[in-house]
Amino acid sequence: GSTIGILGGGQLGRMMSLAAGRLGLKCHIYSDVRGPACDFAAASTIAPYEDTAKIRAFAEAVDVVTYEFENVPLEAAAAAEAVAPVRPGPKALEVAQDRLAEKTFIRDLGIPVAPFAAVDNAASFDAAAAGIGGAGILKTRRLGYDGKGQMRIASAAELPGAFEALKGVPSILEGLVPFAFEVSVLVVRGVNGETRFYDVPLNTHKEGILDTSTVPSPIPPAHAKRATELAAAIADALGYVGVLGVEMFYLGADAPEPLVINEIAPRVHNSGHWTQDACLVSQFENHIRAVAGWPLGATERHSDVTMTNLIGADVDRWAALAAEPGTALHLYGKPEARPGRKMGHVNRIRPRSA
Ligand code: ATP
Ligand code: MG
Ligand code: MG
């Protein structure tokens, strides 16, 4: 196909469109708001995701449909799929939209996840608290991101208050994972089932939002390999096509189970933005290649790199960052630097060490 339809109009869609442009492909955005992706796409449709007639018309105008935003209603993906291939398929969307479905799916593959229990109402408090024991995190099943829609609890006694603070929506209670650090796997899977991986970054967070991703990470090579195998097992089980981000906790070399999956993102992922400047083919280009049915590109890393997100007022330092040697600056062109908003990122490149 030569025109890629993207559901979602944010910075991920923008960077996908830029990568597609290098390959001579065009993108058509469908989004419920006019976002940063619209500036670089050949066309954009701004309409509600619930407008299935518009979704259908959008799908008719493109060769394949993908998304940069996992909260697209399943009905929208289904409406598109009646007209054009949707990659990754609606199964990935369905699993990733709901933390209960996601954790259950991964656990049933025999892959470790944090202890979890559904919290739908006050009647589920006792069983959930008993299931995880002690401290935990209550997370809404749907629509949470950047640490929004979750509350830490120090003991079962805090569960009712946390549930109320989250407006009583269906949630899950997770046990706290005693991790040493966090990593992620960026796996790309082609239409023929071939999988390729980028190096596994170390991820740090600030106020619930990803702050930095660094490669190489301190994870021992055998465990990095294990991490990629777990991600591939998830991608295979979903019949996935495109880039999948898999967030993981690393518990240390001496832990009986060194890797525990946190969550998956059925799209390009913020912890893979470093691939733009440290690899020949970025996660964005590889996602486009995969969904377009192209051969996958090289995922090897040619440099060491730290990606740092520019959140809110961080972006005011853009001129100093642009002047800094060894630094590649990426700005999303968002009109207002509201607190907590992802405005851009910088990749600080160093010669490859290992
Ligand atoms: P994202 O922006 O990555 O989608 P999110 O809002 O979906 O974030 P999570 O990834 O579930 O939130 O959690 C955010 C962070 O909180 C994690 O990266 C980790 O640092 C911490 N965290 C989440 N769950 C647990 C857990 N069960 N045990 C320990 N720490 C946790
Ligand atoms: Mg998330
Ligand atoms: Mg997360």
- Residue-range domains of the chain with CATH: 3-86 (3.40.50.20), 115-175 (3.30.1490.20), 181-351 (3.30.470.20)
3-state secondary structure 158-191: HHHHHHHHCCCCCEEEEECCCCCEEEEEEEEECC
CA dihedral 262, 274, 208, 321 (to 10 degrees): 170
What are the Cα distances from residue 69, in Å, to 12, 21, 147, 200, 267?
8, 20, 16, 22, 7
C-alpha 91/C-alpha 240 separation (Å) is 9
Choose which residue among 262, 264, 269, 311 to substitute to test ligand 1 binding: the one with the highest number of ligand atoms within 8 A of its C-beta: 262
Question: Is pLDDT above 60 for 1?
Answer: no
pLDDT tens string 199-246: 999 999 999 999 999 999 999 999 999 999 999 999 999 999 999 999
Q: Is 318 touching ligand 1 by the criterion CB < 6 Å?
A: no
Q: For 95-109, 115-129, 176-190, 203-217, which range has the lowest pLDDT when averaged over its residues?
A: 115-129
The answer, yes or no, to whether ipTM is higher than 0.85 is yes
| Ligand 3 center from residue 180 Cα (angstroms) | 16
Mean of pLDDT over the chain: 96
Q: Which two tokens stand for residue 93?
A: 């969307």
Q: Is 205 touching ligand 1 by the criterion CB < 6 Å?
A: yes
Cα 179 off chain centre by = 20
- Kindly state the average pLDDT of the residues 142-161: 91
| Ligand 2 center from residue 57 Cα (angstroms) | 30
Residue in the structure block whose two tokens are 């991790």: 179
| Side-chain-side CA neighbours of residue 169 (13 Å) | 15
Question: Is pLDDT above 90 for 277?
Answer: yes
Question: Is pLDDT above 60 for 22?
Answer: yes
- For 275-299, b/e burial (b = at least 16 CB within 10 A) is bbbbbebbbbbbbbbbbbebebbeb
Q: Is 70 touching ligand 1 by the criterion CB < 6 Å?
A: no
Other Cβ atoms less than 10 A from the Cβ of 60: the count is 11
Binding-site annotation, residues for ATP: 99, 139, 144-150, 174-177, 182, 205, 262-263
Q: Residue 146: nearest ligand to its CA?
A: 1
Write out the H or E segment, with its range, that includes residue 119.
strand 116-119
Cis check: omega of the bond before 256, within 30 degrees of 0: no
- Express as a percent the part of the chain with pLDDT over 70: 100
pLDDT tens string 51-73: 999 999 999 999 999 999 999 99
pLDDT tens string 318-338: 999 999 999 999 999 999 999
Beta 242-250 vs 181-189: how paired, if at all? antiparallel
3-state secondary structure 44-89: EEECCCCCHHHHHHHHHCCCEEEECCCCCCHHHHHHHHCCCCECCC
Res. 147 pLDDT band, cuts 50 70 90 = confident
